[in-house]
Amino acid sequence: MGKHLNVSIRVEIAILLLSFAAFTGFGQQPEAESSDKTQNPRVNIYHHLGSIQLPPDFAGYVGANWTDAWAGSISNGKIAIEWRAGIIEHVLEKRRKEVVSTNIESFGDFNIEFYRLRNKQGDTLVAKIGWLEFSVPISHKEDEALFMTIVRSFKNERCSICRSFPLKTKE
């Protein structure tokens, strides 16, 4: 009877361990994310600011890394998107009088506020997600669509398998 009890307990433990591994994904590679990484990779903006999905021809960097503020740029050579977060002067703060339209979109736990600014130099789009702000001067309709796609890809989490923007500050 003791032998049968031992075998029964071992079988139950094995089943529990296999169930736990299957439930948590322990030992498995995240196939969807890793294959997505080669086609259109997610990039961590900064270690606590979230991640975005960028087309392959885009690169970015962190240009300001202070105690309470961060800023940088994302570009493909044709369009340059600036980003900033924290206690820093935001585009929207200094150009509030130039707002010509606003739109708020809800994405799960957060909202994205879109603003169109207009001055003599042309239109600028600003997207605000909490204390994170993205901005881009708009030259063509395609620039606007690309900006919106990148901003809408934002996730308020650190991607563990994604690369991060490198630090590139001026000395």
Which of these, 40, 35, 69, 42, lies nearest to 57 by C-alpha position?
40
Which pLDDT score, from 0 to 100, does residue 117 have?
Answer: 96
SS3 155: strand
In this structure, the answer to whether residues 65 and 145 fall within a common structural domain is yes
Q: What are phi and psi of 26, to 5 degrees?
A: -60, 130
pLDDT in tens, 8-50: 555 455 444 444 444 434 343 343 444 444 444 899 998 789 9
Question: 12 in a domain, yes or no?
Answer: yes
In this structure, the answer to whether residues 46 and 93 fall within a common structural domain is yes
Which CATH number is 133's domain given? 3.40.1000
Which pLDDT score, from 0 to 100, does residue 10 have?
Answer: 56
Question: 171 in a domain, yes or no?
Answer: no
> In this structure, which amino acid lies at residue 44?
N
**7 pLDDT higher than 80:** no
In this structure, the answer to whether residues 7 and 47 fall within a common structural domain is no
Look at the pTM and tell me if it is higher than 0.75.
Answer: no
- Cα dihedral 151, 154, 156, 162 sign: negative
Q: C-alpha 131: how far from its chain's center?
A: 13
- Cβ contacts of 121 within 8 Å, gap of 6 or more: 137
Domain around 2: 1-28
